[in-house]
Amino acid sequence: MKPTLRSPGLSRAFAIGGIVLAQLLHAPLTGSAHAATTAPAVAEATASAGADTRPDIVKRGEYLARAGDCIACHTAPRGKLFAGGLAMETPFGTLYSPNITPDAQYGIGTWSEEAFFKMMRTGRKPDGAPIYPAMPIAQYTKVTREDSDAIFAFLRTVEPVRQPNRKHTLRFPFNQRDLLYGWRTLYFREGEFKPDPTKSVEWNRGAYLVEGLGHCTMCHTRINMLGGSSPREQFAGGLIPVQNWYAPSLTSDKDGGLGDWSIKDIVDLLQAGISDRGAVYGPMAEVTYHSLQHLSDEDVRAMAVYLKSLPDQSGRKTGPSATPDPKVFALGKQIYADKCAICHGANGEGQLPHYPPLAGNQSIEMDSAVNPIRIVLNGGFPPGTKRNPQPYGMPPFGQELNDAEAAAVVTFIRTAWGNHGLPVTAREVNELRKAPLH
Alpha helices (runs of H) in 273-361, residue ranges in sequence order: 282-290, 297-308, 326-339, 341-344
- Residue by residue, pLDDT tens for the chain (438 residues) are 544 444 433 433 333 333 322 323 333 333 333 334 334 455 554 444 578 899 999 999 999 999 999 999 999 999 999 999 999 887 778 899 999 999 999 999 999 999 999 999 999 999 999 998 889 999 999 999 999 999 999 999 999 999 999 999 988 887 888 888 888 888 889 999 999 999 999 999 999 999 999 999 887 888 776 667 777 788 888 776 666 777 788 888 766 788 889 999 999 999 999 998 888 887 888 899 999 999 999 999 999 999 999 988 665 555 555 788 999 999 999 999 999 999 999 999 999 888 889 998 888 888 889 889 999 999 888 899 999 999 998 899 999 999 999 999 999 999 999 998 999 999 999 999 887 665
Q: Write out the DSSP string of 54-77.
A: S-HHHHHHHHHHHHTTHHHHHB-T
Q: CB of 129 within 8 A of CB of 135? A: no
pLDDT for position 219: 79
One-letter amino acid at 48 equals S
pLDDT for position 40: 46
pLDDT for position 359: 92
Quote the distance between the C-alpha of residue 153 and its chain's center.
Answer: 26
pLDDT for position 38: 39
pLDDT for position 239: 72
Give the closest residue to 237 by CA, choosing from 284, 273, 190.
Answer: 284
How many C-beta neighbours within 10 Å does residue 310 have? 21
Burial of 425 (0-12, 13-18, 19+ CB in 10 A): middle
Burial of 105 (0-12, 13-18, 19+ CB in 10 A): exposed
For the domain 326-432, what is the CATH code? 1.10.760.10
Give the closest residue to 136 by CA, choosing from 226, 57, 60, 227.
Answer: 227
Peptide bond into 3 cis (omega under 30): yes
pLDDT for position 269: 94
pLDDT for position 123: 95
Q: How many residues does the chain have?
A: 438
How many C-beta neighbours within 10 Å does residue 171 have? 11
Give the closest residue to 37 by CA, choosing from 15, 2, 9, 59.
Answer: 9
Q: CB of 237 within 8 A of CB of 257? A: yes
Give the dihedral sign, CA 36/41/44/45: positive
pLDDT for position 176: 84
pLDDT for position 314: 64
Alpha-carbon gap, residue 410 to 421, rounded angstroms: 10
**What does DSSP assign to residue 211?**
I
How many Å is the Cα radius of gyration of the chain? 22
How many C-beta neighbours within 10 Å does residue 265 have? 17
How many C-beta neighbours within 10 Å does residue 319 have? 9
- Give domain limits for the chain: 31-192, 326-432
Give the closest residue to 140 by CA, choosing from 213, 67, 190.
Answer: 213
